[in-house]
Structure 1
């Protein structure tokens, strides 16, 4: 019985040293993070996009990791910019009752692209500069306020998931 207990303890210790049960690949020495504001430098301007994206990415890291926010000399620095915000038609329809067959968009696509600079001072070999992009297709019936709240939230969430996974899960 003592051997089984000792073996179990040893196995748990070895597993924990190779992989954290939280799924994080961050070094245990990594304690602090600074996430700077992501300015919106895209041609099409959504006035809330920069603040919304910046707040959402900060919340993701502070709520789902043990990292603490820092303003000076952080172990991890994340910064970047929103480089593209576009709404383009994807599906065209023809209005049957309109003279000459009025052509209009049946569906549109929102695309957001974000450039990210990630600096890991504890493990510098994990630092990177990458561009992330995602999109959402929606009905052309949606008004601009709905697009800029619900659809932007969906796309931001997807991009933040990718960034988070690349940094914390290291997939």
Structure 2
């Protein structure tokens, strides 16, 4: 009998907390309205001064996969609840650390490390909750050894930077962090 008296208030408190948490934040990690069902993600255009020929297509494919695989949203081309589109505005590689090698002929100055920077401008429309729509630029970078050739940079560093930018876009839209 005493156990029931202790259990009932505790059980009530647990149920109340669960209901409050669920109303604020779903357990899937999404803060999107339950009425939000469809998403359209247009191909991102590469308008960077230095053009990586595969960057726009890879970025577009990766962001589409992220939304379609990690949410319950369905892709559509007509009257979407969410519209995501944009452009790549910067793709650059610049030296960050300089080293000098002195040999018999003289000095040789070269980059010891380089930095890859990618910026993506995103236009996001939320037709269900228009106040959550935005136009924002996302930028990230990776520092790497100057010994890497262009193929290694494309294979590892571009993928890393794209992943970071897509994570931030996804979190800003889906998790609303």
- The TM-score range, normalised by the shorter chain, is over 0.9
| Alignment partner, residue 42 of structure 2 | 36
| Alignment partner, residue 87 of structure 1 | 93
5+ residue gaps in structure 1? none
Could you tell me how far apart the structure 2 residues matched to 1:92 and 1:67 are? 47
Deviation at 1:23, TM superposition (A): 1.5
Normalising by structure 2, what TM-score? 0.91
Normalising by structure 1, what TM-score? 0.94
> Would the alpha carbon gap of residues 97 and 60 (structure 1) be closer, same or farther in structure 2, given more than 3 Å must change?
same
**Structure with the greater alpha carbon radius of gyration:** 2
19, 23, 27: which is aligned to 1:21?
Answer: 27
Deviation at 1:45, TM superposition (A): 1.1
**Deviation digits for residues 11-60 of structure 1, max 9, x if unmatched?**
43332112101111100110100100001111111111001100111111
155, 169, 172: which is aligned to 1:149?
Answer: 155
5+ residue gaps in structure 2? none
| Alignment partner, residue 114 of structure 2 | 108
SS at match of 2:116: strand
What RMSD, in angstroms, separates the aligned Cα atoms of the two structures? 1.5
| Alignment partner, residue 78 of structure 1 | 84
| Alignment partner, residue 55 of structure 2 | 49
Stretches of 4+ moved more than 3 A in 1? Answer: 1-11
Could you tell me how far apart the structure 1 residues matched to 2:146 and 2:124 are? 36
Could you tell me how far apart the structure 1 residues matched to 2:140 and 2:32 are? 25
SS at match of 2:45: coil
